[in-house]
Amino acid sequence: MKTTHVFSQAFAFYLTKAKEMRASDIHFCPRLLGGEVRFRVSGHLRSVQCIEDHLEWEDLLKEVKRRSGLAFQKGFAQDSRFSETATASDYRVSLVPVQMGSRESEQIVIRILPRESHFSIEKLGLPDDATSALKLALAANQGLIVVTGPTGSGKTVTLMSSLCAIECDKYSVLTLEDPVEYSLSGITQVQVSEKLSFAQGLRAFLRQDPDYILVGETRDPETATAVVQAANTGHVVLTTLHTNSAADAFSRFSQLGVEEFLVRENASFICAQRLIPRLCDSCKEFDEEGRRKLTVLMPKIFEVGEIGNDFPLHARGCVNCSGSGISGRQLVFEYIAPRRNLDGQKELISSPTLKQSAIALVQKGKIHADELIAML
């Protein structure tokens, strides 16, 4: 029988290995005969270890629960946080009870959270013009900054990096989050709960004399109305929406009961983003199958004169990418921001769309053709 020390070493190994592989999450997934440990790397899950003895698996879960501060009782969902000095990382833990045949077990997912020092607008990988537009929006006296995209697209990192660009010694910065994932110095962060909704918290914030307000997500009419009103009354408000493009943010606010002209008048930066697996430079090669797909779906992509016929590419996998063909993730980005025309009137300008940006990345051999096709 394995000792507690063995499982402690195993857990420490998973944390260290996950950091080395730049994983974003560690999954402890129950299986009929035990369980499987998987890492999410560059957006995809990779199997790290399978344990085919359910008693050994349950002992490993007990160690994970002990180290992460979860209760040992089974049958209910749990959340916790912990930090590790050895890996210099913070972690957010989610546990849900599961039924594996006649056996009760649990699935635990650990999100690896970068420390505050990792947050910087310059590190986001935005196009230069987008970086300038975002900084200009943050420097304004008031306005609405909206980051859109699906779950896992990096919205939170964009928002946290934006907050870290604010001179917090000069300004009052308040956030409403669900949950509070990253602790930022000089910023007052509030956790949304059953007793405090986004809308309720935002109304209370307006009596706190803030300069900047972050609302983690705008998802109901009451919050949407309060967000736009706050942006219209001398505050810089940052929030997120679940839309497919930056332009869709206007219709989403309309669906939530806010007139589109009010959003357009107060918008200072609206963006949409995706994180797409980036091809490994060491094993990229011509992708004949990808070319056939693009020829059918997007024949005009091959009419660009400056681009040769040696695209699209795929990566077969090599030692440098652990056989995955993937090396990190590539940000695909679009934005809308205001400018003054020759008559001094405010107008909104748009960058190239997500689709246009993805086409350019396929042509440069940065991402696989299937990633572009998925966006069509």
3-state SS, residue 303: helix
CB atoms under 10 Å from CB of 364, counted, come to 12
Backbone angles phi, psi at 106, to 5 degrees: -145, 150
Query: Which is more confidently placed, 343 or 280?
Result: 280
**Distance between CA 226 and CA 199 in Å, rounded?**
7
Q: Output the CA angle 227-183-62, nearest 5 degrees.
A: 120
Q: How many CA within 13 A on the CB side of residue 259?
A: 4
What pLDDT does 207 receive?
92
Q: Could you tell me where in the chain the CATH 3.40.50.300 domains are found?
A: 116-278+305-373
For residue 39, what pLDDT band results from cuts at 50, 70 and 90? very high
Query: Is 4-113 in CATH node 3.30.450.90?
Result: yes
What pLDDT does 141 receive?
92
Q: The domain 116-278+305-373 belongs to what CATH superfamily? A: P-loop containing nucleotide triphosphate hydrolases (3.40.50.300)
Q: Could you tell me where in the chain the CATH 3.30.450.90 domains are found?
A: 4-113
**pTM for this one?**
0.85
For the stretch 118-174, pLDDT in tens is 789 999 999 999 999 999 999 999 999 999 999 889 999 999 999 999 999 999 999
Q: How far is CA 358 from CA 305, 346, 374, in A?
A: 18, 29, 10
Q: Output the CA angle 115-119-122, nearest 5 degrees.
A: 150
Give strand pairing partners of 325. none
For the stretch 190-246, pLDDT in tens is 998 888 888 899 999 999 999 999 999 999 999 999 999 999 999 999 999 999 999
